Amino acid sequence: MHRINDDYIRDFFGISADEAGEKELADIKSRLVPLRFDHGQDICTIEGEPDGMFFLESGTAIVLSRDGEQINVMREGQYFGEYAVLARQKRLSTVRSQGRTTVYRLNSGDMMDILSRHPDIYGELMKRVYGQVSNKHTQVIALSRMQRGMLQSPHNQTPMTALKMLVHYGIVALIFAAALLLPSDSAVPLFLVPLAFMIVYAFITRRTVESLVISGMLAAVLVYRSGISAGYTDALMDTMISPDNVFTVLVMALMGAVVTLIEYSGAVTAFRKLAGSRLRSRRGVRLSAVAMMAVTSIDDGLNLLCASAGLRSAADEQRSPREEQALMMSMLPTVLCSFSPLSLWGIFVIGILVPINSGGFGLFCRSIPFNFFSVVALAAMLLFSFGLLPRSGALKKAETRVKAGGELWPAGSERYLVKDETETWGRISNLLIPIAVLALSSVAVRSIVSGSFVVDSACGLMLTLIVMFFLYCSQKLMSPEQFAEQLLNGIESMTLPIVLYLLSICFSTMLDRLEIARYFDGLIEVLDSVSQLIPAMLFSASTLLTVALGSSWSMYAIAFPIALHLGGMLGLSLPLCAGAVCAAGIAGEKLCVVSGDSLYVANAIGCDPKAVLRVRLPYSAAFALISLLMYIAAGLIM
């Protein structure tokens, strides 16, 4: 039975079943040229001219990369070679016959002539091309967003038995009942009840969202003294109707759309072509990683993806162990995003700060120099790039393994290796133009309208999406319908971060209503005697809280109100206090062994997650200790 038959051609080109369609079918069939290849013959070669696309009628063909590595297998009914024709570029890979094969070639001129009569098929082909390119990348980004703020524990992968559920939630119900017995004017600080419960519950169960929900319910019971459902519903509604929270949720959703559209355009692969043609040393690879992640630091998933996709081949050519990449890819994505108020990380933190301090945006910007963990980590990674940072035992072992002729990756990495990516790339302008528009329009749009300097990331994101629509659709990378589809996919990908944000804000508001500030006011004399150590204490306590929760985002909602209230009450530098909490969130995530960070770094670079942890933890601990000493010094000086 022929694979490339009339039904196949009709389906591929979208040909109708009427008389006109039959003529179209006959015309296309007359242009298909049958070719036969013996075992080992090349059907098309890398750097070859784009003379047409191929349909595999029978047999099997393998796809080879530039270094001769097999990266894909093509079987009967599949097609290849269309990217070079559409992009007007030379072949990016070699396709070799495995056994005897028969293919049909559609010459370039005939292909473009047919597609000119079927623009919808042209758009669909481009969608398939970039869909193949970004498939692995989309998985990495989706994984990073799904794991952001989520703890990892094997026992959460299996359902609970009925008895276990009865015991588990029965204990929770008893705690709720006991909390209701506490009078509202109790001498016991009531805010400690839900706060301590959340920390302990998250640490035991490793379920972040559930911990926030149940703790929020417990706090609502103590605040409203009413039924669990009614009190917590009222608290959530109050959180969701706040203009500040509405703005933050809108910006997070739009940011998700922008990042997803950039991925879908195939632009993230552009760095690979640039790196492959210019990098000739391991130092160059490491410095390029810093530069790539800095330029794309609107999202920690996006900059990780750009650097890992762009530099993997170049790093392998320089015989760089994967553990070396793991250190930089583990440290730098969030660190670099923490310096930008327009990154998703910055938007989240500013959203937490604004309800506490009306000048939240300015406070965030002034706190950046006091984010000592990020400053230390960035400086250390630059030293590492130049070969000046002492290497840990794990890195020394990796270097020894590679020098002895071993694999570039450690044992256990096989399932994370990328072997089946199509070697195609997009345009770097499709990535840099949206980022530049976002940066400029976030500052300019609202400032021009109001006549005074205003930074409005929502306006910037809206204008960026408009520019992206015309930029991508005019290149036929996607149709307007596909653009809208990916925009919605991007918004959907932000569901978990948005839920975490709203739950955290709601919980923080409940703690405030339990008069957390009043209890600190009562300790003013004690705290004043150690006020110079408060920044260091905030950093230490917030780091430990992040490790326990596995989420800096949840920690920020709890720690920022306390930190800023203490800072204001004791006359401390608010940027220093805010910087200490910002730094603690990043330090805690890098020190947490049960967060999802190691898993999505492992997927991005092709390395065992345990090896990622072994490399990251010693440096994270050292950076945290240095940061602690810097906060002690800053407290004494300021």
> Domains of the chain by range and CATH?
6-119 (2.60.120.10), 154-241 (no CATH)
Residues 586, 336: contact at Cβ < 8 Å? no
In this prediction, residue 615 carries a pLDDT of 94
Residue 119 has what pLDDT? 64
Q: Which pLDDT does position 318 carry in this prediction? A: 85
Average pLDDT over residues 387-398: 92
pLDDT at residue 1 tops 50: no
- pLDDT at 127 (0 to 100): 54
Arithmetic mean of pLDDT, 433-460: 87
Average pLDDT, integer, range 225-248: 83
Structure tokens at 547: 């490790």
DSSP state of 476: T
Residue 542 CB partners (closer than 8 Å, separation 6+):
555, 559, 563, 580, 581, 584, 585, 588
First-to-last C-alpha distance (Å) of the chain: 82
How high is the pLDDT of residue 147?
Answer: 45
Give the per-residue pLDDT at 289. Answer: 87
Per-residue pLDDT tens over the stretch 540-578 = 999 998 888 777 877 887 888 888 888 888 889 999 999
- State the pLDDT at residue 381: 95
Whether the predicted pLDDT of 150 surpasses 70 = no
| pLDDT score, position 277 | 61
Whether 268 and 305 have beta carbons less than 8 Å apart is answered as yes
pLDDT (0 to 100) of residue 125: 64
Statement: residue 587 has pLDDT above 90 = yes
Quote the pLDDT of residue 484. Answer: 92
Question: In the structure, how many helices (H) and strands (E) does the chain have?
Answer: 29, 6
Q: Which tokens sit at 501?
A: 């944000």
Give the confidence band of 415 by pLDDT, cuts at 50, 70, 90.
Answer: low
Per-residue pLDDT tens for 25-50? 888 889 999 999 988 899 998 888 88
Q: Which residue has the tokens 């001769």?
A: 68
99 or 418, which is more confident: 99
Closest Cα partner for 627 from 378, 334, 364, 310?
Answer: 378
pLDDT bracket for residue 2 (50, 70, 90)? low
Instruction: Please state the pTM of the whole predicted model.
Output: 0.73
The pLDDT of residue 143: 42
Query: How does the average pLDDT of the chain come out, rounded?
Result: 83
On the question of pLDDT at 397 being above 90, the answer is yes
Asked which of 112-116, 190-194, 312-316, 416-420 is least confident by mean pLDDT, the reply is 416-420
Say which residues have a Cβ less than 8 Å from residue 243's Cβ, sequence separation at least 6: none
- For residue 140, is pLDDT > 60? no
pLDDT tens, residue by residue, 341-391: 988 888 888 888 887 777 888 999 999 999 999 999 999 999 999 999 999
Rounded CA gap, 480 and 470, in Å? Answer: 9
**Residue predicted with more confidence, 135 or 42:** 42
Band (170; pLDDT cuts 50, 70, 90): very high
The model's pLDDT over 515-534, given as tens digits with 9 standing for 90+, comes to: 776 777 667 777 788 889 99
Please, which pLDDT band fits residue 275 given cuts at 50, 70 and 90? Answer: low
